[in-house]
Amino acid sequence: MHPNSTSLLFGLLAALANTFGGLIIIQTHWQREYLKYFLALGSGFMLAAAFLEMIPTSFTLFQASPAFVLGGYLMVHLFEHGLSPHFHFGEEVHTKEMLDPRVGISALIGLTSHSFFDGVAIASGFILSYELGIIVFIAVILHKLPEGFTVASIMMASGRGKLFSLLAAGGLGAATLAGILAMGIASGFVNYALPLSTGVTIYVAASDLMPEVNEEPGVKLSLSVFAGVILFVLTRAGLHRL
């Protein structure tokens, strides 16, 4: 299969996970306890994938790639937290902050731009190798449920209806697909796109997901981060044996 079609197929799965995450918020009676384990597993897997696969591969492609990794990290910081007065992963429960209509919209813009780079990351991976594509896809899909959940909860808390909230979660999926399509057109830029989306991955893992993991009392969730790293090691070993 051509890398573009493989990326699109996996991108569709990621987009579905975003929408499902949104559905969990609007179906208030649905279980959601397990989502925090996705946060923890996701952050461990993403950090391992970024430091052990994405950064080394970026560096072999392009010597100046560390500057792009830093650029990707700072870009998400700007869009999610610099331009947004209030944003964090997990359920939005701060009703006072949500009275300001700019809060919901700016958080939506921040999450949409990061989701676009989730797609850029998946497509860059598949352009370079099937193994890298699968590893990046797992890093993305593990945080897609909490991501859809987060955006739908922000929309509900800022007084938008269930349909709008679900559409916002689906919109993040659409942004991921847009990132994949963009790389289909601009695959020649993969040397820049991979390190840039690596920086995005590090930001999401270390600065979006990890604080939510640390909020939780007890050690179970903190240890799940290590389980994410082990999952990465096993996945990589399994892929190399194929």
Residues that bind Zn ion (CB under 5 A): 92, 94, 118, 147
Which residues lie closer than 8 Å to 154 by C-beta, 6 or more apart?
87, 92, 98, 103, 104, 107, 108, 168
Residue 118 CB, nearest approach to Zn ion (Å): 4
Give me the long-range contacts of 188-194 (CB less than 8 A, separation at least 24): 190/61, 190/124, 190/127, 190/128, 191/58, 191/61, 191/62, 191/65, 192/62, 192/68, 193/120, 193/123, 193/124, 194/54, 194/57, 194/58, 194/61, 194/65, 194/121, 194/124, 194/125, 194/128
Smaller CB distance to Zn ion: residue 2 or 207?
A: 207
Task: Find the length of the chain.
Answer: 242
d(CA 81, CA 109): 11
Residue 60 CB, nearest approach to Zn ion (Å): 25
Residue 148 CB, nearest approach to Zn ion (Å): 9
Smaller CB distance to Zn ion: residue 172 or 231?
A: 172
Residue 154 CB, nearest approach to Zn ion (Å): 8
Nearest to 128 by CA among 118, 116, 140, 136: 136
d(CA 101, CA 38): 29
Q: Which two tokens stand for residue 204?
A: 């999401």
Smaller CB distance to Zn ion: residue 147 or 212?
A: 147
Which residue type is seen at 2?
H
Smaller CB distance to Zn ion: residue 1 or 74?
A: 74
Smaller CB distance to Zn ion: residue 8 or 145?
A: 145
Residue 237 CB, nearest approach to Zn ion (Å): 25
Residue number with the shortest CB distance to Zn ion?
94
Smaller CB distance to Zn ion: residue 91 or 131?
A: 91
Residue 133 CB, nearest approach to Zn ion (Å): 16
